[in-house]
Structure 1
Amino acid sequence: MNSLLVILSAAILFMLVLISLAFQPRVSAKITGWLFFAVAAAGFIIYGYAFSVLYPSPMHAVVRTVFAVFCMFLGRNEISAVSAVPAYQTPVMQILIYLAHLGALYVTASAVITGLGRRLLRLVNLLLVNRKNISLIYGVSDDTLSLASELQDSGTVVIFADDHYSADKEAQILNMGSLLFSGDAVSHPGKGFLKQIGAARRNRHLHIYCMQEGSDQNKMYAEAMRDALEDAGVPEERTSLTMITADQHTTELLQADPAKNRYGYGSVYALNRVEFIARLMMRRYPPYQTMTFDGHGKALENFEGVIIGFGSVGQAVLRSLLMNAQFEGSRFHAAVVDDKYDSAAGNFFYEYPGIGASYNIEFRKENGRGIPFYRYLSGISETLNYIAVCTGSEKENAEIAAELTEFISRTGSKAVVVQGTVNGIRHIDPKTGITETSTLYSAELLNNENIDHMAMVQNHQYNSGNGRTMEENWKACDYFSRMSCRAGTDFIDALLYTCGADREDVLNGRWHPSEQEMENLGRTEHLRWCAFHAAMGYRTMPEEVLRQRAAERQREIKETGSSRIRIAKDTRSRQHACLVDWDELDHLSKLEEELTGVHRDYKAADFDNIRMIPEMLKR
């Protein structure tokens, strides 16, 4: 019976040791660290005392003690050498001595198993990488690890490249079946690296995600990988790039351009972080859902919004809110609440002069938690539609949003409260109290074919008949035109909602807008179009400037036989003659026709955008 008890107890103890070695790296590292110092201290006490008794020479005892402690961690022991010490002949002391040695073996085994385990996992993962398409993520963080998990679910192999990461992150990457490269793979990626990960093999697609915090870092790595891919002879159509950057224009140079014989990525999706977050907010929590309409394309109320915080995110949200809350029958008003807005908004007013000149934006130099602000909020609670909390601090956002959600519930306001940061958006459901989170690092959102598909369709319809595919037309599209298509197609659901319809109604042939509905929808589309241009920095072109540009156009035609001047739009000074009220468009159309001899109908352009909706949705 005693033998069976010993065998079972020993087996259980052995299993407990093995289980502890399988803990998460952060946990096992802490266990090993504390155990090392405890075991070393026990070893010095055990052997130090014993050898001081057995050897008359202190120097001899010190050297022998150090040697014995080292042997503990190497799997050897000096127990027989100290067994003659009377104090160590009791069963309790002998058990303690063996436990100390077992602890030393655990520390050593933990280090060896961790090292061997990582090497083995890396080898296995490297073999598997040669069988699937590759997603290469530049930048290791909790967010990119979450992205990697989503990408793996879609059937792609994920590889990380970064020089700055913790041992815990490295273990997570290996355990999820991914690979992590550093050194030259980050600073000087070349043909050898591409061959190692199998990117040069035929029929394999490589999608690179440059997700570092710094735009310059992302751009440099994207350029280095582009050069390596060209050197390795990887076809452009088998490559794509998603990059977080504040510089949208220079990324166009990373796109392949056969016309210029320029090698580049087959597809480039450049994300301005704050613009993307603002767009995500409008898609997840659209302003139109906070308003009421007559079912025939006309709003029954004005739009009232509040933005708390006017840093980069708050400014981007104001621009997006302006573009997505324009409706026939409604007046737009937004209050910006920030006790330091005047020290952060200088460039905003310079960059977007049309917003201040044409729209009802109120700036309140108040704190979003202060008494003056809540007095103001109480006065507009019945008409309030939207509150965006964008202070720049996730902690402050959460605190303010929680207070506002409680205020909204208590006052019976219908306003939606959304938090915006550089990493994503959050919304507290007032009924359940559950926080809904949408992060920037989502595989669905970081794929331009997903989030930009409708914009690509619209752009293709604008360019139908040029012989190019939809993807080719999108690649040839400049930054402004892409933003225009995104803004237009993001607003489709809002247009349908004003008529009491949705996409399913359109696809099933149940949407047939009446003449009055078309009139209202055209007016709303023009309001949206004007707001988009104001949010892109445009302002109204004076009539005298329009006449001057018409005269320049006529001179150019006489001198060269043709002219590329569009008299109503000046991209250099960012002026557009169509940034006027709907009722002034007929006069403008006639004036341009008089000046150029070319027929114009600017209202028809807005109506055409409405008529395109069914065909776009079908595609």
Structure 2
Amino acid sequence: MSRHSDIKQEKRNPLEIYISEISHGKWALFTILLAMLTFVIGVFGFKVTYGYSIDEAAYNSVRMFFINFDIPVYPAPPLYLIVTKWLAFFIVVSSIVHIILFSMFERINFYFITHHSSFITIIGLNDYSVSLALDLLKQRKKVLLLTENNDDSKIQTLKLNGVKVLCGDITDQALYKKMCVERSRNIIIYTMSDSQNLDALMELDEYLLNKKLDSPIKTIVHFVDKQLEDVIQEIEKEVSKAHFDLKLLNIYENSAKQLFFKKPLYENIDMDKENAHLLIVGFGRIGENILLQAAKIAHFPSERPLRVTVIDSDAETLSSWFYLRYPLINKVCDIQFLSYDIRTKEFKEHIRQIKTSENQYSYIAICLNDDELSLKAALNFMTELKTVPTGIKMIRDSTFARWIDNHNKKFHNLFRFGNTDDISNVGTIINEKQDRLAKAIHDLYLKKNENGQPWNNLTAFIKSSNRAQADHIDAKLSYLGLRQVSTGEVSEKMYTTINLQEFNSMLVNKLERLAITEHNRWNAFHHINGYTQIPPHEEIDHENKKHYCLTTWNDLDEVSQVRSEIKGNQVNYKELDRHSVQRIFKIVEAAGDKIVKPMNAKEGKFDDI
């Protein structure tokens, strides 16, 4: 069952419940039955009390519903006929009120949301935006959704649960005005078209020119295609930072992050001696983002490069397209593309061969377009590679998908990821924890760099760089036998909370290796984003993606020496990497979390708790 299946049971205000009951026809049925009962009692009363004929009694009963209460005074009418008279009056008046409320509810509700509430605006209608909207409702948030898509089933689902939906041009400023979009707490621009999302962002920026904002609106833009990266960087310079606190979202990257959150790449390896060997089966958008995310985070003290094998029936074409967009990826990891159809004997033979070779996989991610085919591929691997963690992309929250979750004892290395509800919700889209860590990293940087820019003035690239550093904290802590948990998760039976002094004592003998790891991670992030190395006597050029620190750890000494001579003061880039590691405790603490040591932890590894 979807985690949104019970959303209609969530607490709603009385007017919403009332209108919902009307829309389901319960009020209409009740009113009709009550009117029929009133009519029958009226006919009986007029006939028995005044000796009217059936026709006359029926006529006088109907007149009561038209607010005509011409009941004879003599003989005195019985109590039940008086009650019937006022009951008819009540039915008529309540019906008028019902009709008015029902016809005006949308407008009234819309007015109160936009003028008297803090609300969240979503632009775009698809499975992912619907999932996010429903999750926001579960957290008692008011949601407005603007769409050009007239998908009646999705729209009715949203309206039924309390989302205000407007259909029209998503770049129409008249609709922005109608929605009072400047009052939004958050804006999520969430169509599946990068160009449409950028159009909406620019139109919103123009609309907000004459609006007074107390603070920039937290704005999230869905953006996938790296080919348009230069375009969005230029647009980012043009849109006002007074209007937006901008963040880019890639739903496929979210899926990859969820995969490695469920089962980290480092769990089955010795971080001192080796790196992971990742197998990706299926190289669509999710498969590609799994490779990129792994290339960003798979950096460990062994200093060995990540190995990646990609299997796809169209490997040659896909690899060419991938290398065209990421020409420096081989500086980050070793990649091999293999062309296999997973339904063939050749594929099964490859699995048998890999089992007996020294080049075994340590992690498998299956992300085919067909859920059933993905499962069959996983079961093929399970017969030969039972101990290897195997993630299966399953978008639909089907009964069979839940069966996998419930049988994890037999298939303990088999797990699913990529479910729409799991990757498109408040936690993963607004992602407050990741941003808290990223902002804490930047705040600590500002304390030592007075000329630094505040978070809202940073480019999307620099913000992403801080988030990437935050993503690697778990790997560094794991190497120390630690982990970070939210304050509410701390349990004395499960964890020992670590203080700053204890953290520093555990770090002292491993600081240098983790500093080298951090430098390699920083290099990888920049290479993936197209940065190349320049000599240390040249200046950093973010416009053309050039940086003199994109070098080996050992060569940083020379870079530091040259830059010190140019600047006229001492610069030590190795020390900056050491500080990045030493500040982990303060970063986690500033984000409101704790660093703990699990009770059953051995150094560098621990069981799931």
TM tier relative to shorter chain: 0.5 to 0.7
Which residue does 2:579 correspond to in 1?
608
2:298 aligns with one of 311, 325, 337 = 325
1:52-77 CA-to-partner distances (Å, cap 9, x unmatched) read xxxxxxxxxxxxxxxxxxxxxxxxxx
Contact 1:248 1:270 in 2 (8 A): no
Contact 1:278 1:313 in 2 (8 A): yes
Percent of pairs with identical residues: 21
- Following superposition, the deviation at residue 509 of structure 1 comes to 5.1
Q: Are 1:501 and 2:494 matched, yes or no? A: no
Which residue does 2:200 correspond to in 1?
221
Which residue does 1:282 correspond to in 2?
260
1:188 aligns with one of 159, 172, 177 = 172
Q: Are 1:299 and 2:275 matched, yes or no? A: no
- Following superposition, the deviation at residue 611 of structure 1 comes to 0.7
1:384 aligns with one of 353, 361, 364 = 361
- Following superposition, the deviation at residue 306 of structure 1 comes to 0.8
Q: How does 1:535-550 map to 2 (within 5 A)?
A: 535-539=528-532, 541=533, 546=535, 550=537
> Which SS does the other structure have where 1:135 is aligned?
strand
**What letter is aligned with 2:126?**
S
Which residue does 2:53 correspond to in 1?
none
1:519 aligns with one of 512, 519, 525 = 512
> Which SS does the other structure have where 2:426 is aligned?
coil
1:29-50 CA-to-partner distances (Å, cap 9, x unmatched) read xxxxxxxxxxxxxxxxxxxxxx
**What letter is aligned with 1:371?**
K
- The CA distance in 1 between the partners of 2:276 and 2:564, in whole Å, is 36
The 3 A distance-change label for structure 1 pair 533 and 367 is farther
- The CA distance in 2 between the partners of 1:598 and 1:154, in whole Å, is 52
Contact 1:390 1:421 in 2 (8 A): no
Q: How does 1:10-159 map to 2 (within 5 A)?
A: 22=24, 119-129=103-113, 130-159=115-144
Contact 1:134 1:159 in 2 (8 A): yes
- Following superposition, the deviation at residue 613 of structure 1 comes to 0.6
- Following superposition, the deviation at residue 224 of structure 1 comes to 2.6
Which residue does 1:456 correspond to in 2?
439
The 3 A distance-change label for structure 1 pair 116 and 242 is farther
The 3 A distance-change label for structure 1 pair 179 and 421 is closer
- Following superposition, the deviation at residue 508 of structure 1 comes to 6.8
The 3 A distance-change label for structure 1 pair 128 and 175 is farther
- The CA distance in 2 between the partners of 1:590 and 1:467, in whole Å, is 23
- The CA distance in 1 between the partners of 2:294 and 2:388, in whole Å, is 17
- The CA distance in 2 between the partners of 1:264 and 1:136, in whole Å, is 18
The 3 A distance-change label for structure 1 pair 118 and 180 is farther
Contact 2:282 2:312 in 1 (8 A): yes
With structure 1 as the length reference, what TM-score do the two structures score?
A: 0.66
- The CA distance in 2 between the partners of 1:432 and 1:328, in whole Å, is 33
Which residue does 1:582 correspond to in 2?
553
2:524 aligns with one of 524, 527, 531 = 531
Contact 1:307 1:389 in 2 (8 A): yes
Q: Are 1:417 and 2:391 matched, yes or no? A: yes
**What letter is aligned with 1:482?**
K
The 3 A distance-change label for structure 1 pair 23 and 301 is farther
Contact 1:307 1:334 in 2 (8 A): yes
- The CA distance in 2 between the partners of 1:508 and 1:405, in whole Å, is 46
The 3 A distance-change label for structure 1 pair 118 and 145 is farther
Which residue does 1:488 correspond to in 2?
469
Which residue does 1:442 correspond to in 2?
425
1:398-456 CA-to-partner distances (Å, cap 9, x unmatched) read 42244324633664323232428899xx9955436674536442122221544322112
**Higher-RCO chain (CA-CA 8 Å, sequence separation at least 6):** 2
1:191-213 CA-to-partner distances (Å, cap 9, x unmatched) read x763x54556xxx5442222111
- The CA distance in 1 between the partners of 2:345 and 2:278, in whole Å, is 19
Contact 1:118 1:171 in 2 (8 A): no
Contact 2:121 2:143 in 1 (8 A): yes
Q: Are 1:316 and 2:292 matched, yes or no? A: no
- The CA distance in 2 between the partners of 1:420 and 1:582, in whole Å, is 41
- The CA distance in 1 between the partners of 2:213 and 2:143, in whole Å, is 20
Which residue does 2:249 correspond to in 1?
271
1:317-360 CA-to-partner distances (Å, cap 9, x unmatched) read 21211222221226332112123222123243244333225632
Contact 1:132 1:156 in 2 (8 A): no
Q: Are 1:348 and 2:322 matched, yes or no? A: yes
Q: Which runs of 5+ in 1 are unaligned?
A: 1-18, 25-113, 293-297, 554-564
Contact 1:226 1:254 in 2 (8 A): no
Q: Are 1:366 and 2:373 matched, yes or no? A: no
- Following superposition, the deviation at residue 496 of structure 1 comes to 0.7
**What letter is aligned with 2:109?**
N
1:372-395 CA-to-partner distances (Å, cap 9, x unmatched) read 33333334448422112234x2x1
- The CA distance in 2 between the partners of 1:593 and 1:508, in whole Å, is 32
- Following superposition, the deviation at residue 310 of structure 1 comes to 2.9
**What letter is aligned with 1:145?**
V
**What letter is aligned with 1:613?**
I
- The CA distance in 2 between the partners of 1:372 and 1:417, in whole Å, is 22
> Which SS does the other structure have where 2:509 is aligned?
helix
The 3 A distance-change label for structure 1 pair 234 and 369 is farther
RMSD: 4.0
1:268-307 CA-to-partner distances (Å, cap 9, x unmatched) read 2222344444344333432122334xxxxx4344411111
- The CA distance in 2 between the partners of 1:141 and 1:115, in whole Å, is 33
Q: Which runs of 5+ in 2 are unaligned?
A: 1-20, 27-97, 486-496, 591-609
